Amino acid sequence: MNEIAIVVISIVVLIVGVIVYGVVSTTMGSEEDVNENYIPDRFERMVGKNPKKKEEK
C-alpha cells in the first residue's frame, strides 16, 4: 500500500512541476507563448499542435 501512495504522490509532484515550469518560464520570458495559455510553444509543437495567436474580439 505504501508503494501505491509513493507512486501517486510522485505523479502529482511531476504534473505540478510541469505546470509550474510552464507558468514561470512563459511569465519570465524564457519561453515563447504566442497564444498566452501558459504552455510553452515548444511543448505544443512536441505534441503536434500548432500554437496560434489569439484572435482579437
Mean pLDDT of 15-23: 89
- Does residue 40 surpass a pLDDT of 90? no
Mean pLDDT of 16-38: 84
> How confident is the model at residue 38, as a pLDDT?
76
Q: Got the DSSP string for 1-57?
A: -HHHHHHHHHHHHHHHHHHHHHHHHHHHTSS--TT-SSS-HHHHHHTT----PPPP-
Mean pLDDT of 37-46: 82
Residue 53 burial (10 A CB sphere; 0-12, 13-18, 19+): exposed
> How confident is the model at residue 54, as a pLDDT?
64
Q: How many CB atoms lie within 10 A of CB 26?
A: 18
In which band, very low, low, confident or very high, does the pLDDT at 57 lie, cut at 50, 70 and 90? low
